[in-house]
Structure 1
Amino acid sequence: MYIQKILLVVTGTGTYANSGLATGLWLSEFTHIYHCAGERGYEMTIASPEGGNTPVDPESLKPVVLDKISREYWENPEFREMLRHAKKLDDVREQLFDCIYLAGGHGTMYDFPDNAVLQAIITEHDENNKIVAAICHGVSGLLNVKSSNGEYLIKGKEITGFSWLEESLANRKKEVPFNLEASLKARGANYQKALIPMTSKVIVDNNLVTGQNPFSSKEMAEVVLQQLHEREMTDL
């Protein structure tokens, strides 16, 4: 029996460059896909641009946003130890997964967009008809990816990601290194967002699956797993 393989890509950046405020991975954007894939017995590999410790944004641990699943994982010492030992992207460069999942958190805005290894992995998987998924600020990892024809991967694609209004509501407009929504549009993406900020929105465009914000975490996991299941059925 074939076991589906997922590469979960996380940030290794724990502070905003211009202020020193703490940031990192937004926990729920990792735990929901990790939980759903684990329940189905899928094989998961966790990697970051430089490997090693995965900082977690303290904002994502606050009771007002820490959902039941995320809290249970965070209280598990083995889970937290696992996050301290992400593989380096270079070490998984030659592997082909069924899905690449770029988890979010503001830290990704620093170490995802210009990482050549991540770009190469995404291009290879997209061109091998594998799922490329990204949620919230993790979508920044798609910004500079080009297909073999030299075009930006997201050009003409329906896509979502953390909106500029949501950045304002999160009080991070002065902290972030760029405007993600504007940058996605500048690359020619057909950017879409939920009518009400901070509510779930997930978009599927062929191999590309994107989620808008942390509140999309549960739906995002369900959609990605459904996409994997449908492809598995097609291949039987």
Structure 2
Amino acid sequence: MKKVLLVETNVTRYQGTTDPTGLWLGEAAEFVDEMNQDGIAVDYMSPKGGFVPLDPRSMKYTDDTIMRIYEDSDFIERALKNTLRPDQVTPGDYAAIYYTGGHGVMWDFPDDPNLQRLAMAIYDNGGYISSVCHGIAGLLNLKDAQGKYLIAGKQITGFTTAEERIAGKKSVVPFLNQQVAEAHGAHFMKKRFYSEYAVKDGRLLTGQNPFSVRAVAKLLLNELQH
């Protein structure tokens, strides 16, 4: 069975501030745990390759499973220290791409042409594009061969404006996921803030917030098994 490509941020801080951000650990670890249970191999990539910073706030939301993945030497080496660069990835090797979150992705996911080419190559080959929380930033500007936004007319979800406000980051993020998604023609779906929610529309699989990781993973596994 083909592998899944997990994408993480290289951004260490909210731009223009000294406030640290990075990968939301659970959004990688819980997804990896679900893939491991089904024997699906995962590779790790970031826009620049190499080091992936952790959002320090995400360390307050761990459990035994997240810590077990975090302490695993393979995860440390491949997901946090030495992620692949896009030019080291062959899209034909992957059945799906999964965009993790953490606020950092809002700066390095949306407009990276290398990420966009990879995601669309996987999608055009019959693969899946999935994300959770702020990882939706990787989907917002994807366009098909006709130049149409991939999310146009599709039901998707991600970190909501209400959740951004509650997180206290509405004034420092470069955009609001919900606004951009709707401006690009998507049907932005949501449930109550910080409740588990995942949406499937064709081969787009998206989750609303950090509590939706396993729901997204299970949607993907169900597709891969069939």
TM-score by length of 2: 0.95
| Percentage of identical aligned residues | 37
In structure 2, the residue matched to 1:219 is 215
In structure 1, the residue matched to 2:18 is 20
In structure 1, the residue matched to 2:177 is 180
Contact 1:11–1:55 (CA under 8 A) maintained in structure 2: yes
Following TM superposition, by how much is the alpha carbon of 1:94 offset from its aligned partner in structure 2, in angstroms? 4.9
Q: Is residue 75 from structure 1 mapped to residue 71 from structure 2 by the alignment?
A: yes
Q: Is residue 148 from structure 1 mapped to residue 150 from structure 2 by the alignment?
A: no
Match of 2:195 among 193, 196, 199: 199
What is the alpha-carbon distance in structure 2 between the residues aligned to residue 190 and residue 37 of structure 1?
28
Structure 2 counterparts to residues 1-236 of structure 1, below 5 A: 3-62=1-60, 65-82=61-78, 83-194=80-191, 196-230=192-226
Q: Secondary structure at the match of 2:172?
A: coil
Following TM superposition, by how much is the alpha carbon of 1:81 offset from its aligned partner in structure 2, in angstroms? 3.1
Contact 1:7–1:100 (CA under 8 A) maintained in structure 2: yes
Gaps of 5+ in 2: none
Q: Secondary structure at the match of 1:200?
A: coil
Q: CA RMSD in A?
A: 1.3
What is the alpha-carbon distance in structure 2 between the residues aligned to residue 216 and residue 68 of structure 1?
18
Change (3 A) 1:187 1:90: same
Contact 1:93–1:117 (CA under 8 A) maintained in structure 2: no
Task: Supply the AA of the counterpart residue of 2:145.
Answer: S
In structure 2, the residue matched to 1:234 is none
Q: Secondary structure at the match of 2:23?
A: coil
TM-score by length of 1: 0.91
Q: Bigger shift: 121-130 or 138-147?
A: 121-130
Q: How many residues align?
A: 225
Contact 1:54–1:84 (CA under 8 A) maintained in structure 2: yes
Task: Supply the AA of the counterpart residue of 1:26.
Answer: W
Gaps of 5+ in 1: 231-236
Contact 2:2–2:93 (CA under 8 A) maintained in structure 1: no
Q: Secondary structure at the match of 2:43?
A: strand
Following TM superposition, by how much is the alpha carbon of 1:72 offset from its aligned partner in structure 2, in angstroms? 2.0
Runs ≥4 in structure 1, deviation > 3 angstroms? 75-78, 93-96
Q: Secondary structure at the match of 2:94?
A: coil
What is the alpha-carbon distance in structure 2 between the residues aligned to residue 76 and residue 100 of structure 1?
22
